[in-house]
Amino acid sequence: MKVTSSEFVISAVGPKQYPEDGLHEIALVGRSNVGKSSLLNKMMNRKGLARISSRPGKTQTLNYFRVNQMLYFVDFPGYGYAKVAKTIKEQWGKMIEGYLKNREQLRFVIQLVDIRHAPSKDDVAMYDWCKQIGIPTVIVATKGDKIARGRWLQHTKIIRQTLNMRGGDTIIVFSSETGQGKDELWGEIMRRLRE
Ligand code: GTP
Ligand code: MG
């Protein structure tokens, strides 16, 4: 996929601010610090469009990015970050739950997990929850550059098993550092949008 235009649209704190032009939406979910914003920048060829931080919990709203006047990526707040105040956590929870359950424009979810570690309880809960609602999921194993290529298969197997991945859901190894997996992920996105 050739990205000819990409732009930040809005940091939405609730449904009233979600775009109304009816374009397809793809949500990015995953633990804080797993690399959601970095992946988006890589996918859009834009270094600083989505904010990246070594401080977990940076993204606290639903951040909309429009690509090629064709689709929106929706960058989600990361889950599983203990230091965020409970009241804020509850707010996010409600917003995210409402979005995933009710947003008609949502086509599928890209869920990021760190290739180095087995998915956490939160990762498993998020995956199960999407399956319960009936949302297709693409699993992206991020930070692929942090382990040797020869170990990818072993690690993705553990991810597949821990999540108990359901038929039809794919797993892609990705690195925001090297661009590994970028073309494959774009291919998967376009295939799913055509379905
Ligand atoms: P929140 O917004 O807090 O939920 O985090 P996030 O999931 O958006 O993570 P972000 O993209 O901000 O990245 C967190 C840290 O991981 C940053 O220091 C990135 O540079 C680093 N990082 C992200 N992706 C990769 C990758 O593929 N390889 C390596 N080596 N580092 C990465
Ligand atoms: Mg982020």
User: So where are the chain's domains?
Assistant: 6-194
Name the one residue in this structure whose structure tokens are 């009710």: 102
pLDDT value of position 87 = 65
- The residue whose C-alpha atom lies closest to atom 5 belonging to ligand 1 is 33
User: Residues enclosing ligand 1, CB less than 6 A?
Assistant: 30, 32-38, 52-54, 56-59, 78, 142-143, 145-146, 175-177
HSE on the CB side for 134, CA within 13 Å? 4
The 137-142 sheet, strands edge to edge:
6-12, 62-67, 71-75, 24-30, 106-114, 137-142, 170-173
Mean pLDDT of the chain: 90
pLDDT value of position 8 = 93
Q: Which residue has the higher pLDDT, 73 or 92?
A: 73
> For residue 75, how far is its CA from the centre of ligand 2 (angstroms)?
7
Q: What is the ipTM of this complex?
A: 0.98
CATH code reported for the domain at 6-194: 3.40.50.300
Mean pLDDT of 59-68: 87
Q: Which residue has the higher pLDDT, 59 or 26?
A: 26
